[in-house]
Structure 1
Amino acid sequence: MEIDGPKLRRLRERALMTQTELAAAAQLSQGRISQIETGAQPVVPIRTMRDLIAALGCTLDDIERNEEEICS
């Protein structure tokens, strides 16, 4: 699945979380969060997507990159 990195960053900041805090909540490394947010690693396993959604209390639509955004 493909994550929209800038959206993830905005959601994290809105939740008043640091990358380190989000990483701990989603059981990922801080470096992995950074890679996802900067677009260096936009494609992630479904489990990672699920863990990020749970940690942020958001929905799949909130962080998934959709085709309309990719084409525009």
Structure 2
Amino acid sequence: MSNIQSKINKIVMALKVKGRIIKINTSQFYLEDKDKVITKYIVYETHPKEGEEIYGKVNVLKYLVDLYKEIGESSG
């Protein structure tokens, strides 16, 4: 498991403790012009169609950290 993935898992668990159940779906597709496979992450609470589309694990981590900070500010 990568270092980024372990941090994502920890933040998802911390959000769960705060009462927010976060789910992450992945979808892969091929970009012909770049000749590579791209992974799209969908971060959501209730339904994937209402989730946030994010490209790259680092960006997922940043999004979750921002969400955690937002929850911390509203509860404290």
Q: Same fold (TM over 0.5)?
A: no
Larger radius of gyration: 2
TM-score with structure 1 setting the length: 0.31
Of Structure 1 and Structure 2, which has the larger fraction of its residues in helix?
1
Higher relative contact order (CA 8 A, sep 6+): 1
